[in-house]
Amino acid sequence: MKSAVIVFPGSNCDRDAKTVLAATGLNPVMVWHQDSSLPKVDLVIVPGGFSYGDYLRSGAMAAHSPIMREVKAHAARGAYVLGICNGFQILTEAGMLPGILLRNAKLKFICKEVLLRVENTTTAFTRRYKAGQVINVPIAHHDGNYFADSDTLKKLDDNAQVAFRYCDADGAPTAAANPNGSQNNIAGIFNEQKNVLGMMPHPERHAESLLGGTDGKALFEGLLAA
């Protein structure tokens, strides 16, 4: 299985992603955002960072980079796309996932470990987790406050498109466990077909015990088995 990590000006989690992909056997190649063709891969990672300095809106400019046409075509073929943090913002701005990530409700940049409840374990991304499992994964963002209109939120629930919710140690998605004001404690969502995942937390930062946790590793292992 092969993967590609898209590199935008301002990406800063691209090499973390590459390291995890290589360690998992997902054979990553790095692809510059101005490239207009994507090598033949099974998985595309749109990594975290601050593409274009978050000018205008986080992810707005990167969503129109030449490579994104290829990433859309890749997803339309049913192949896998994972957007992490700024990557999630880029996927919403590109129209590949519904909703938008607004400024955190308390206006602060938040960098800490959070707990997530795994909501749907029938996808390639989440198959290695148990239903309702609580995992520890770090967040590091200023704009992670997920917003969508009520019809969209209902659709996300009806189609089991919510991947992860911020929760407490018992797995309850409480207001106190919601770090950024996201509607319904949403931390990550799938597209309808479940081959595109966007999430604010960073699974690639918790894939080695040396870095403080390994709960993110199963996500990449699930993709390897896909």
Partner 1 sequence: MKAKIHITLKSGVLDPQGKAIEGALHNMGFRGVKEVRQGKYIELDLAESDATKAKEAAQKMCEGLLANTVVERFKVEVE
Active site residue 111: no
Binding flag, residue 154, partner 1 (CB under 8 A): no
Question: Does residue 195 bind partner 1 (CB under 8 A)?
Answer: no
What does the alpha-carbon distance between residue 58 and residue 145 come to, in Å, rounded to a whole number?
Answer: 12
Q: How many CA atoms lie within 13 A of 41 on its CB side?
A: 27
Q: Which is nearer to partner 1, 93 or 119 (CB)?
A: 93
Q: Which is nearer to partner 1, 102 or 172 (CB)?
A: 102
At 12 the three-state DSSP class reads coil
For residue 59, give the 3-state DSSP assignment: coil
Q: How far is the CB of 57 from partner 1 (least distance, A)?
A: 6
Does position 56 interact with partner 1 (CB under 8 A)? The reply is yes
List the one residue from 76, 111, 149, 211 that touches partner 1 (CB under 8 A).
149
Length of the chain: 226
CA 24 from chain centre, in angstroms, equals: 18
- In this structure, the number of other CB atoms found within 10 A of the CB of residue 97 comes to 26
Closest CA to 131 of 118, 148, 141: 118
Note whether 100 binds partner 1 by CB under 8 A. Answer: yes
* Active site members: 85, 202, 204
By the criterion CB under 8 A, which residues form the site for partner 1? 56-57, 60-61, 64, 92-93, 98-100, 102-107, 145, 147-149, 181
